[in-house]
Copies of this chain bind each other. A is one copy, B any other.
Amino acid sequence: MQGGARRGRPGHDLESVLRGAVKVFNERGYDGTSMEDLSGELGITKSAIYHHVTGKEELLRLAVNRALDSLFAVLDDVSVLDAPAIMRLEELARRSVLLLVAELPLVTLLLRVRGNTPAERAALARRREFDTAVASLATQARDEGDLRPDVDPALIARLLYGMINSVTEWYRPRGGGRPAELAEVIVSVAFDGLRLKP
Does A43 have its Cβ within 8 Å of any Cβ on chain B?
no
- Against B, the Cβ 8 Å flags (1 = close, 0 = not) of A38-51 are 00000000000000
- Residues 164-186 of chain A: 1 if any B CB is under 8 Å from the residue's CB, otherwise 0? 11110110000000000000011
Pick the most buried of A32, A164, A165, A169: most chain B CB atoms within 10 A of its CB: A32
Cross-chain contact A190 with B196 (CB below 8 angstroms): no
Give residues in A with beta carbon < 8 Å to B.
27-33, 86, 112, 114, 116, 142, 145-149, 151, 155-156, 158-167, 169-170, 185-186, 188-196
Q: List 6 A-B contacts (CB under 8 A).
A: A29-B29, A145-B196, A147-B194, A148-B189, A158-B166, A191-B194
